Amino acid sequence: MVFEQIRTGGDRNFGYLIADPETKEAAVVDPSGAPDLFLLRIQRLGLKLRWILCSHSHWDHTGGINELKQGTDALLAMHGSAPMPLDRPLEDSDTLNLGKLALQIIHTPGHCDDAICILINGNLMTGDTLYVGKIGGTASDSDARKQYDSLHRKLMTLPEETKVYPGHDVGVRPSSTIGEEKRNNPFILQPDIQHFLHLKANWADYKKQHGIS
Ligand SMILES: [Fe+2]
């Protein structure tokens, strides 16, 4: 399987290129500010772009969609609640075929309602739901509760060896695993929703106290 983590600029954004080496079918996740970079890799590797996916509808993940669509037959797939025209509206547990591979969609509302994580062969692209040692921001207590539920019910129930590939490079490493996040991520380590909300409200102080940049 082709699986490349690509730095796309913005706020240390990551996008991902995935392909089945046999059929050459490819998918791009979060093209963001670097559609040219993805097109170059697709050309170099002789791939056919089939899917463009975005982990959620924030501009720093969705930029570049039009450039990627031009001159390809690629279809845009995002969660059905995303506020944009979609070729393939997605919902929780959907599967997208990519040659002999399958992209599994996990709906993880919280950071925003249309947030999804995408799992392929034990590699989980987490967008702004989960970062290495951190999590994405939320706009309200109600969204934070949704995020808590998404993290614990949908992501932390995956096998510990599942690799975590975030939407931003804001941790100590560019990727980790579900097991490492369970052991090290202060938000995941909170024993209940009240402690989780408290940490969110006091994150700036916590970072200072613990020397987290
Ligand atoms: Fe975001």
**What is the percent of the chain where pLDDT is above 90?**
97
With 80 as the cut, is the pLDDT of residue 163 above it? yes
> From the CA of 122, how far away is ligand 1's center (Å)?
23
With 90 as the cut, is the pLDDT of residue 213 above it? no
CA–CA dist 114, 206 (Å, integer): 29
DSSP H helices, the chain, are 35-44, 59-62, 65-69, 141-149, 178-184, 186-189, 193-201, 203-210
Calculate the alpha carbon distances from 6 to 16, 19, 38, 102, 139 in Å.
6, 14, 8, 21, 28
> From the CA of 35, how far away is ligand 1's center (Å)?
18
Overall number of domains in the chain: 1
> From the CA of 22, how far away is ligand 1's center (Å)?
33
**What pLDDT was estimated at residue 199?**
98
**What pLDDT was estimated at residue 71?**
74
**DSSP state letter for 168:** B
Residues, beta carbon < 5 Å, ion ligand 1: 58, 128
> From the CA of 171, how far away is ligand 1's center (Å)?
16
Residue range 181-188: mean pLDDT, rounded: 98
- Per the structure block, which two tokens stand in for 33? 């500010």
Residue range 2-18: mean pLDDT, rounded: 97
Calculate the alpha carbon distances from 23 to 15, 41, 72, 115 in Å.
22, 16, 16, 29
Calculate the alpha carbon distances from 60 to 23, 39, 71 in Å.
30, 18, 22
> From the CA of 111, how far away is ligand 1's center (Å)?
7
3-state secondary structure 73-119: CCEEEEECCCCCCCCEEECCCCEEEECCEEEEEEECCCCCCCCEEEE
Write the CB contacts of 145 (distance below 8 Å, at least 6 apart in sequence). 193, 197
> From the CA of 180, how far away is ligand 1's center (Å)?
23
Global pTM reads: 0.97
Q: Kindly provide the b/e burial profile for residues 152-183, where b requires at least 16 CB atoms within 10 angstroms of the residue's own CB.
A: eebbbebeeebbbbbbbbbbeeebbbbebbee
Residue pointed to by tokens 């089945």:
20
CATH code where residue 148 lies: 3.60.15.10
Residue range 168-176: mean pLDDT, rounded: 97
Q: What is the band of 150 on the pLDDT scale with cuts at 50, 70, 90?
A: very high
Query: If you average pLDDT over every residue of the chain, what do you get?
Result: 97
Give the least confident one: 12-16, 32-36, 108-112: 32-36
Residue range 5-17: mean pLDDT, rounded: 96
**DSSP state letter for 10:** T
Tens of pLDDT, residue by residue over 60-77, are 999 999 999 997 889 999
Tens of pLDDT, residue by residue over 100-145, are 999 999 999 999 999 999 999 999 999 999 999 999 999 999 999 9
> From the CA of 57, how far away is ligand 1's center (Å)?
7
> From the CA of 102, how far away is ligand 1's center (Å)?
25
> From the CA of 128, how far away is ligand 1's center (Å)?
5
- Give me the domain span that covers residue 173: 2-210
